[in-house]
Amino acid sequence: MADTVKIVSPIDGRVYAERAIATATEIETAVAKTRRAREVWNELTVKERAKFLEHFVDALIGKNDEIVPELAWQMGRPVRFGGEKRGVEERARHMIAIAEESLKPSMRPAKDGFERWIAREALGNVMVIAPWNYPFLTAVNSIVPALMAGNAVILKHASQTLLVGERFAEAFKAAGLPDGLFQNLVLNHADTEKLIGSGQIDHINFTGSVEGGRRIEKAAAGTFATLGLELGGKDPAYVRADANVAYAAENLVDGSFFNSGQSCCGVERIYVHAEVYDQFIEGFVEQSKGWKLGNPLDADTVVGPMATPRFADLVRGQTLEALRKGATALLNTKHDLDEEGSPYLAPEVLVNVNHQMAVMREESFGPVVGIMKVADDAEAITLMNDSPYGLSASIWTEDLDAAAKVGAKVETGTVYANRCDYLDPALVWTGVKDTGKGGALSEIGYQNLTQPKSYHLRKL
């Protein structure tokens, strides 16, 4: 009997779906198909490819009513938020729109007797290894531009959200994409690493844990495949003395607890200037009270279960450790181990925290946030940088010049002012330190999914 992968739903702990893992023959066949499909695909102009990709977006968005409850069953996000339709459409259509300009040859200055330019050419086979927390958004970041640039795509989706890969495949089929150009494979870790190391993959885009990123690098060693890695995060926010405190509190609650805190760029630690600290805490706690935990299929539920009990137990452990070391919980008065083993975890706000506590330095990826008082910008910057990660950081202030100056000193891939937990497709999505390498979206995303080729032509 073939090995399978089971999706255990966080809603009720039952198996929601089960799929067979691809056999060695199926993997080999899939890779062979990509080679043939690329030949057809690369005969098309960028404008012609865009028509296929626009139809793909239409087909995927058209299935949203079915996708939303399917996501709730797979990873627990409440149906009230409507899935990932808006972000998928914004990112995909933006990358389609800028493709021609981003991929056109870059002409060199005139030189008598010569024509010179730099072209961008497809890398070949792009493997996208997508996570469960934003299963459509994280995948579309690479899939759409990779195809627009002339590559074939092999998608290996997270075991928790396997049905997302099937939804992509259905939409591409509806759009009439050449057979084999997009491949959705159900793979285990060993076969994934074997495929990466086979020399048949030209670029790997992985979103996941730091340890997972290290395994990808090791698997790709010696193949000379390029890598895009978005790994861990511990994104900070800094509320300056001149901030609109009520606005900051409302938006930072959303940035901390949306998707049960399971967001790559979710806010996991907040530093507040002493002058507005008490006011901010009052507003933040009041706003947090509206984030009620419940069944994600209920239209009134704001916070659903975490994707697995294991993830929830990690957050419980961090919270209990912080409380033992002197932190104070402001939302929930009962913290013991009776809840252990359940994916349902209510939001929590911790104060009297410090950087000797795991909750302020290690990735939580759940609905808990620690808030610290700081004296000035310098202390905030020092604490924001006291982390092995660097994906995004937000600064809350009425002075955008000050935000830019503070942001320039923060070790991060994206600096926000007066917003958080958002990805602008016109800007590159990247990180520093253990958060990873490479960049997605914007014209830089196209550069990372293509290789340059120089033309130096002499006239006779």
Residue 348 sits in the same domain as residue 258: yes
Residue 227 sits in the same domain as residue 300: no
- CA-based torsion, 339, 340, 343, 348: positive or negative: positive
Question: What pLDDT does 333 receive?
Answer: 56
In the numeric block, the tokens 């997009």 are attached to 182
> In this structure, are residues 252 and 217 in contact, taking their beta carbons and an 8 Å threshold?
no
Question: What pLDDT does 338 receive?
Answer: 45
In a domain, 147, yes or no: yes
Question: What pLDDT does 124 receive?
Answer: 98
Determine the straight-line distance between the first and last CA of the chain, rounded to whole angstroms. Answer: 67
| φ and ψ at residue 79, rounded to 5 degrees | -65, -20
SS3 at position 119 = strand
- CA-based torsion, 392, 397, 400, 405: positive or negative: negative
Report the CATH number that the domain containing residue 295 is assigned in CATH.
3.40.309.10
Report the CATH number that the domain containing residue 119 is assigned in CATH.
3.40.605.10
Residue 223 sits in the same domain as residue 81: yes
Domain count, the chain: 2
How does DSSP classify residue 232? -
Would you write out the chain's pLDDT as a tens digit for each of its 460 residues?
469 999 999 999 999 999 999 999 999 999 999 999 999 999 999 999 999 999 999 999 999 999 999 999 999 999 999 999 999 999 999 999 999 999 999 999 999 999 999 999 999 999 999 999 999 999 999 999 999 999 999 999 999 999 999 999 999 999 999 999 999 999 999 999 999 999 999 999 999 999 999 999 999 999 999 999 999 999 999 999 999 999 999 999 999 999 999 999 999 999 999 999 999 999 999 999 999 999 999 999 999 999 999 999 999 999 999 999 999 999 975 644 347 789 999 999 999 999 999 999 999 999 999 999 999 999 999 999 999 999 999 999 999 999 999 999 999 999 999 999 899 999 999 999 999 999 999 999 999 999 999 999 999 9
Question: What pLDDT does 75 receive?
Answer: 98
User: How much is the pTM?
Assistant: 0.96
Q: 318-349 b/e with 16+ CB inside 10 Å = b?
A: bbeebbeeebebbeeeeeeeeeeeebbbbbbb
Residue 149 sits in the same domain as residue 241: no
In a domain, 428, yes or no: no
Residue 124 sits in the same domain as residue 217: yes
264 belongs to the catalytic site: yes
Residue 68 sits in the same domain as residue 147: yes
Choice among 26, 54, 115, 230 that is catalytic: 230
Residue 74 sits in the same domain as residue 92: yes
Residue 257 sits in the same domain as residue 378: yes
Cite the DSSP H helix spans in 325-397: 358-361, 377-384
Residue 264 sits in the same domain as residue 364: yes
379 belongs to the catalytic site: no
In a domain, 261, yes or no: yes
Question: What pLDDT does 2 receive?
Answer: 63
Domain that holds residue 411: 235-422
Residue 61 sits in the same domain as residue 157: yes
In a domain, 427, yes or no: no
Q: What is d(CA 231, CA 233) in angstroms, rounded to the nearest whole number?
A: 7
In a domain, 429, yes or no: no
Closest CA to 139 of 128, 147, 151: 128
Residue 404 sits in the same domain as residue 442: no
